[in-house]
Structure 1
C-alpha cells in the first residue's frame, strides 16, 4: 500500500496489482492502522482511495493470502465460532475504524466482492469509464451478506438484488452505476486522478470541524429514523461550529468572496 499526503489530502493506493489489488492479511492490518493514524493527523482533511494499475480498484479477498497464521487478526478471521470471528470490515472500512473524515473512492477498474466494504463506507465515489462492478459470491457457493448490506445505503433494492444474485455472470458498467447513484461522476481513465483531486482539494480547503460535523450528520441520518437523527442535530451543530472559522466565513461572504463554481 502506498500513502502520500499533499495539501491536506491523503492519497491511499491499494498496491497489489499483480493480484488485482485483492487484500490479504498484511493489507488488512495496514489499512486498519492507516485509518487510525489518519484519524489523529490534523494535517489530513480528506482521503482518496484508489487501486494501483489500470485493471482493478479492488477484487476482495486474496484467498491464497487468508490462510491461518500466528497473527492475531488472522486467527480472528478464522475463528471456529461465528460468535468469536471478526469480519474484514473491521479492518477495511474507514467508518468502522472511526475515521470521520471525507473519503473519496476513485474506482479505476474492476470493483467486486470485498471492494464493497470500502465503497460502502466511502463518501463520494468517482469512476473511470472502464470501471465495472459485480459480486461473485453466489457463483462460488458463498452467501453475499456484508457487501449487499453496505450497498443498500447507495443503490436501489432491485439493483442490489440483481448485482448480488447474478454473481459473476453480469457486471455493472460505470455508466449504469452513475444512473442508479452508486457513483457520482464518470470520467475517462486518464482524468480519474484529476477528478478525484478536484473534489478532495475542495473539501480539504474547507473548515475541518464543519466538514466533519456535516459528515457525521449525514451518516447518522442514513442510519437512524428521521426523528432520532433530528434529536441529535443541535448537538452536532454545537460540536461542529468553530467561532473563528464561522467569523472568517461571514467576513468573506460580506466581502463578496464567493468561490468560483463548476457545473456537474
Structure 2
C-alpha cells in the first residue's frame, strides 16, 4: 500500500496495521487526495484478513488532524452540499474518511492522538473504538469562530461526550481547548501517556486485541455499535444473530485451547 501520498501505512507481523495521516506541514489536515486515499484504505483493510486491529495516528507531534485543509477549500470534492437539481443528493466529505461510514470496517480502530485534534478530526474520532492521547493533546472545534455551523462533528461527539461538554466545546469554538486530562475525565479519552510513550501504549493494547480470535473481536465491535445506534430492545434482537455469527466453532476451539494450555499472557492493571 505504498502508493498513498497522504497516508503512511505499515502492517506488523502481529496483525496490527498502523495508519498515519501524513501531511504534517498542514497539521495533517485533509485535502481531496487524503479523502480519496482514506476511503480506499478503509475498504482494503476490511478485505485484508491479515489485518486484525488498526491504529490511526498523525505524523509528527504537533497534531493528530485539524480537519479540512482551508488552503484546499476550492476543490469541489471538499464541498459540502447539494449535488444536482434535488436537495436529496447531498454530499459531505466525512462520508469519505470515517472508517465505518466509508469502509464498513468493523475491525477495531484505535486512535493515538499526538497533538491537536479539531474540527473535521471528529469525523475520525467519532468512529474509532477508543482513544489514547499524548499528554500534550488538545481537542477543540473552531467551526463557529469561522462562521460555520458545527453539525456533523457535534453529532459525532455527542456519542462520546456528555451533552454539556459537547455544547461547551462546540459553542466556544477556537476560544477554548480541552486538555488531554479533561478529555480523559469526561470519557472521550481512555488513556493518557507522555508523548514519547504514545506509540508504545497504542502498540501494547492493539497487540493484546490482535492476539484474540478475530471474528469474536469483530462481532463484539459490531454489537457495541449496534447498541449505541439502536434502541435497547432492537439491539437485543440483532444480538441473537451476532451470537451465531461471532461464536463460530473455530474461534471457540482457539479460545478453549488458550484456556486449557495453562499459558497466560501477562495482564496489566490500568
Give distance in 1, aligned partners of 2:87 and 2:206. Answer: 38
Name 1:45's counterpart in structure 2. Answer: 52
Deviations 1:228-257 (A, max 9, x none): 101111110111122122123223323433
What residue is the counterpart of 2:172 in the other structure? 166
1:85 maps to which residue?
90
Q: Of the candidates 214, 218, 225, which is equivalent to residue 212 of structure 1?
A: 218
Q: Which residue of 2 aligns with 1:132?
A: 138
> Distance between the aligned counterparts of 2:22 and 2:224, measured in 1?
31
Q: Give 1:209 shift.
A: 0.5
Aligned to 2:4: none
**Aligned pairs, number:** 261
Deviates most, 60-69 or 130-139 = 60-69
How far is the alpha carbon of 1:16 from its aligned partner? 0.5
1:28 aligns with 2:50: no
After TM superposition, the score normalised by the length of structure 1 is 0.95
Once the two structures are superposed, residues 5-55 of structure 1 have per-residue CA deviations (whole angstroms, 9 ceiling, x without a partner) of: 112111011010000000000000000000010000000011011000110
Match of 2:70 among 50, 63, 74: 63
2:261 is the alignment partner of 1:258: no
* C-alpha RMSD of matched pairs (Å): 1.5
Paired residue secondary structure (2:56) = strand
CA distance in 2, matches of 1:95, 1:262: 29
**Structure 2 gaps, min length 5:** 1-6
Normalised to the residue count of structure 2, the TM-score between the two structures is 0.93
- On the 8 A contact 1:68/1:78 being kept in 2, the answer is no
Instruction: List gaps (5 residues or longer) in structure 1.
Output: none
**Separation (CA, whole Å) in 1 of partners of 2:135 and 2:47:** 34
Q: Is the 8 A contact 1:25 1:66 kept in 2?
A: no
Secondary structure of the structure 2 residue equivalent to 1:23: coil
Question: How far apart are the structure 2 equivalents of 1:120 and 1:50?
Answer: 14
**Mapping for residues 82-121 of structure 1, pairs under 5 Å:** 82-97=87-102, 98-121=104-127
